Amino acid sequence: MSEPVSDAEGRSRRNFHRSRYDRYQGGPDPLAPPLDLREALDEIGADVMAGSSPQRALRELLRRGTPTMRGLDELRERINRRRNEILKQRNLDGTFAEIRELLDRAVLEERKQLARDLDDDARFAEMQIGNLPSSTAAAVNELAQYQWRSPQARQDYEKIRDLLGRELLEQRFAGVKSALEGADENDRQAITEMLSDLNDLLAKHNRGEDTTDAFADFMAKHGQFFPENPRNTDELVESLAKRSAAAQQFYNSLSPEQRAELDQLSQQAFGSPDLMNALAQVDSQLQMARPDLDWDGSREFSGERPMGLGEAATAMADLAELDELSEAMSQQYAGADLADIDLDALARQLGDDAAVDARTLQRLEQALRDQGFFERGADGEMRLSPKAMRQLGHSVLADVAERLTGRGERETRLSGRLGEPTGATREWAFGDTEPWDVPRTITNAVVRGAGAGEFSPGRPVRLEIGDVEITETEARSQAAVVLLVDTSFSMEMEGRWTPMKRTAIALNHLISTRFRTDELAIIAFGREARTIDVGELAGLSPRMEQGTNLHHALLLAQRHLRRFPHATPVVLIVTDGEPTAHLEPSGESFFYYPPHPQTIGLTVSELDHLSRMGAQITIFRLGEDPGLAMFIDRIARRVGGRVVAPDVDGLGAAVVGDYLRGRGRQR
């Protein structure tokens, strides 16, 4: 016998069985990984260092996307392909061809009937049928009062009138064509009343009157014609106006002959011109309500697939929607915002995946702004925030570390070879020389062996490479570091601008995270020199300015070193040209090329001054200019400094590696 089930257990089981699973209906992928802001920030940082503003760099990122995310350009390309497909696969002859086919069929059936009839009236009717105008519209109008003898012929002719009425309504009201197929006189009367009431409602709206009650009455009476279920007059106008504008664009796209045909045929819609007159009033009211829509536009269809009037209006509306989406994707208009992209329209035109891509871009832009990666500088310009610079510095230093070690596994762990324990441990990697943390290493081996069933008391512990942990160390002595970076225009011309910035960012990040007692100053020198923070340097644009004022930069370097008299002075100079400018006693910059002897003398004098201060001087020479190489080699020997001639891609690793070697020597 089973045990009785408690009330609580019974309720739990009942609630459990009420759970249900539904098919995924689109929208954001619930299993998608979170946004990778680091990847996005790296892309933005690269553009900023190349000379773009942060705002422009963000726009470029959204435009081109990332390796893992489609951008606006690709979505816009899909929109344009969809637009071209509509134009190149279809034409506007559908309704005209269908009417011609019905007319030919009616005339043929009538001729068959007349051939069987032997009275004189039949002969007269044969003459009338035989002399119909070649124009389809003129023939349809001429047969308006004709007394058909063949029931089949009369039925086919009535189909023409019915088709015209339904097509003209379909142009303005989606879905009406199929709903009114086989409509009787009562249905036509309901349409007439709806159009009359609609014109009254639109007239009140255009006069600025309150239409709340009128709209409610209208929808209660005629709501079956509006399956989209608008909530107010504005929404009703919005949906009708776009379709009405599409109908007008269809008319504008016809040839003059086709327009004349349509004007004549429209008078036979439902056998009366009343429908066309009512629709013309609706179009006029809608154009007055939404003059901003493209009522004068036209399209050039060149395909082989014919479309009826209603289908063509739908195609026109699709094309208008695609044009709006394309403009929103371009983001090239004043006040552009990704929120302008209509995700529902994008899903209709390209599918849910495109809407998901656009929504992801919107989320990415919002996340970058919300998480404080941008800020306004004192000049009001947008710039990368300190938070963004820290993240960018981490990525840049990781690249530099990989070049230094030849291994990506070690990331930015560059402190481990320099001295005193930090209190932290990490897994050993090839090339490490730090002492082992024996307790952690043995513990790792025991835990691993126990998990694999290899360990038991009394048996020796077997070590594997993965068990080894080492003690991280770092130097505790202080250094005053000056990084002098050449910002003359030749750095940009020779492709050294961005590597120079990456070098400064990597060194700044290393010092700020691993050697916090060190004091770094970055000095940029072109025609003149100035101390600059790393965020400002990242966004610095190249200037069309000649001059390499190393003399001024060395004066500023001495000022920084004097602020820390007990720190080890370190001077790192990155340049691609001989000194061609110096600072006059008046404070003005003097420039002359080729280098003036006075410029050379003042520059060498300040290097001598730094040497007497005990500074460790390293000059990173970029380029293969023999004159520059000779000059730098001579002054390096004079002041006991080092010369490094890295390639552009290895500049960051050379500077960071030299700094680390210097920190090692301080021990």
Which of 443, 458, 474 is the last residue in one of the domains?
A: 474
Bridge-partner residues for 621, per DSSP? Answer: 575
- Statement to judge: residues 596 and 641 lie in one domain: yes
Calculate mean pLDDT across residues 377-382.
72
pLDDT for the residue numbered 126: 87
- For residue 11, pLDDT beyond 60: no
- Residue 664 reports pLDDT greater than 80: no
Q: Alpha helices, DSSP H only, in 25-65? A: 37-49, 54-64
Task: Assess whether 136 and 151 both reside in one domain.
Answer: yes
What pLDDT sits at residue 98? 83
Q: Is residue 8 included in any domain, yes or no?
A: no
Question: Residue 16 — very low, low, confident or very high, per pLDDT cuts 50/70/90?
Answer: very low
Q: Across-strand partners of 384?
A: 374
In the prediction, which pLDDT does 632 show?
Answer: 93
The CATH number of residue 542's host domain is 3.40.50.410
Residue 103 confidence (pLDDT): 87
- Estimate to the nearest angstrom the gap between the alpha carbon of 310 and the chain centroid: 35
531 and 427 both lie in a single domain: no
Which of these three, 474, 501, 536, is where a domain ends? 474
- Of the ranges 88-97, 172-181, 297-306, 316-325, the best mean pLDDT one: 316-325
205 band by pLDDT with thresholds 50, 70 and 90: very high
Mean per-residue pLDDT, 520-536? 94
Residues 565, 515 share a domain: yes
pLDDT band of 614, cuts 50, 70, 90:
very high
pLDDT at 362 over 80: yes
Q: How far apart are CA 650 and CA 421, in angstroms?
A: 30
Dist CA 468 CA 452 (whole Å): 18
What is the identity of the amino acid at 564? Answer: F
Q: Which range is least confidently modeled, 131-135, 549-553, 637-641?
A: 131-135
pLDDT at 252 over 50: yes
**71, 62 in Cβ contact below 8 A?**
yes
pLDDT of residue 417: 43
Mean pLDDT highest for which of 172-181, 309-318, 647-656? 647-656
- Residue 444 sits in the same domain as residue 539: no
pLDDT average, residue stretch 392-400? 85
Query: What's the chain's average pLDDT?
Result: 83
Least confident residue range of 143-157, 236-250, 330-344, 460-474: 460-474
What is the residue-wise DSSP string for 546-584?
----HHHHHHHHHHHHHT-TTSEEEEEEEESS---EEE-
Q: Domain boundary residue among 474, 490, 513? A: 474
Do residues 164 and 290 both lie within one domain?
Answer: yes
- Mark whether 230 and 104 lie in a shared domain: yes
For residues 440 and 518, state if they share a domain.
no
| Cross-strand partners of 482 | 521, 571
Question: Does residue 479 contact residue 565 with C-beta atoms inside 8 Å?
Answer: no
CA trace torsion 482, 487, 493, 495 (10° rounding): 30
Per the listing, tokens 């299993």 go with 31
What's the CA gap between 664 and 667, in Å, rounded? 6
Q: Is 164 within a domain?
A: yes
How far is C-alpha 650 from the chain's CA centre?
32
The end-to-end CA distance of the chain, in Å, is 82
* Domain identity same for 433 and 542: no
* The pLDDT of residue 519 is above 90: yes
3-state secondary structure 450-469: HHCCCCCCCCCCCCCHHHCE
Is 105 inside a domain boundary? Answer: yes
Same domain, 612 and 649: yes
- Pick 564 or 306 by higher pLDDT: 564
Q: What are phi and psi of 573, to 5 degrees?
A: -115, 125
Q: Please indicate whether residue 588 or residue 437 has the higher confidence score (pLDDT).
A: 588
**Position 480 confidence tier, pLDDT thresholds 50, 70, 90:** very high
Query: Which conformational region is residue 271 in: left (phi greater than 0), alpha (psi within -120 to 50 degrees), or beta?
Result: left
Spatial contact of 549 and 583, defined as CB atoms under 8 Å apart: yes
The three-class DSSP label of residue 264 is: helix
User: Is 232 a member of any domain?
Assistant: yes
* 66 within domain boundaries: no
What does the pLDDT average to over 422-445?
79
Tokens of 287: 């154009």
Q: What was the pLDDT predicted at 1?
A: 46
Domain assignment of residue 344, yes or no: no
pLDDT value of residue 426: 80
Mean predicted confidence (pLDDT) in 278-285? 87
pLDDT of residue 423: 67
Counting residues of the chain whose pLDDT is more than 90, the rounded percentage is: 31
50 in a structural domain = no
Inter-CA distances, 59 with 334, 351, 362, Å:
14, 24, 12
The verdict on 449 and 468 lying in the same domain is yes
Minimal CA–CA distance to 577: which of 601, 597, 550? Answer: 550
Domain count, the chain: 3
| 265 Cβ contact list (under 8 Å, min separation 6) | 99, 136, 137, 140, 164
> Alpha helix locations (H) across 406-493?
438-451, 489-493
Tell whether 318 is covered by a domain: no
Which of 150-159, 358-367, 452-461, 499-508 has the highest average model confidence (pLDDT)? 499-508
Q: Provide the domain limits for residue 466.
A: 420-474
Do both 430 and 569 map to the same domain? no
What pLDDT is recorded for position 596? Answer: 95
pLDDT of residue 380: 72
Which whole number is the average pLDDT over 110-115? Answer: 88
Burial per residue of 105-130, b for 16 or more beta-carbon CB atoms within 10 angstroms, e otherwise: bbbebbeebbeeeeeeeeeebeeebe
pLDDT band for 3, please (50, 70, 90 cuts).
low
